[in-house]
Structure 1
Amino acid sequence: MTRPEARHRGERGAAAVLATTAVAVLALVGAVLGAGAAAAVAQRRAQTAADLGALAGARAHADGGDGCAAAAGVVAANGSTVETCSLLGPDLLLEVSGSVGDLLGGLVEVHAQARAGPGG
């Protein structure tokens, strides 16, 4: 008759391997979710910069100033970069970009657009 511990001797440490694997998988899932959340936040920040920049630019243009220069200042203050700025009648059209780091140490660029003009 064999002792119970002799039958399971080859399985010793299996729980530690399983636990380590589970922790590694959870850490990877957490990193991917964190990177996705960071990209979403960067997109929202770029959209906010575009909206505020377009509003400031449209106001400056309506007052006879340089709408694109006003928009660029507001966009830069919000951590984004103006890609294009154009006037379409009384409206100001603005496209901005921002960036966020990815999991591999690179940068992912996000873009946003906004249009503003006098109310009708």
Structure 2
Amino acid sequence: MAVTSGCPRGRQRGSAVPFAVACLGLLLAVGAGLGVVGALVAGHRSAQAAADLAALAGAGASSRGEDGCAAAAATALRNGAALVACELHGDGVRVLVRVEGPGWRGWHGDLRAEARAGPVP
């Protein structure tokens, strides 16, 4: 005597395919999201490096009697950033730089970083 499950075998054929396609779609979306997050982190690191170098260049120029903000702007530009703000405080300099961030699905944002260099107050 044959044992049957009560469910005709024909109704279950191919039921794993939609599930597999949905799982692959979800995996693709998560991978794309992680890629954007990775690009944001890398972009922010680049912005922070440009800000640090611009602040050091500005403080060095200011201590020599030169225009610290001009030196900071030139250094930021050489490092792929734009100087947004620059404040001189004696021999110290505080800068804010902006780099173009990654875009995703029509969203595009700029990344900013701030740094200070000079003698300890």
Identity of matched residues, % = 38
Q: Which runs of 4+ in 1 moved over 3 A?
A: 1-4
The residue that corresponds to 2:99 in the other structure is 98
The residue that corresponds to 1:47 in the other structure is 48
Name the amino acid aligned to 1:95: L
TM-score by length of 1: 0.89
Matched, 1:31 2:36: no
User: What CA distance in whole angstroms lies between the structure 1 residues aligned with 2:101 and 2:120?
Assistant: 34
User: What CA distance in whole angstroms lies between the structure 1 residues aligned with 2:83 and 2:100?
Assistant: 13
Does structure 2 retain, via aligned residues, the 8 Å contact 1:85–1:92?
yes
Is there any run of 5+ residues in structure 2 with no aligned partner, and where? none
Is there any run of 5+ residues in structure 1 with no aligned partner, and where? none
Taking the TM superposition and a 5 Å limit, the aligned residue runs for 1:9-20 are 9-20=10-21
Taking the TM superposition and a 5 Å limit, the aligned residue runs for 1:60-99 are 60-99=61-100
How many residues matched? 119
Does structure 2 retain, via aligned residues, the 8 Å contact 1:62–1:118?
no
TM-score by length of 2: 0.88
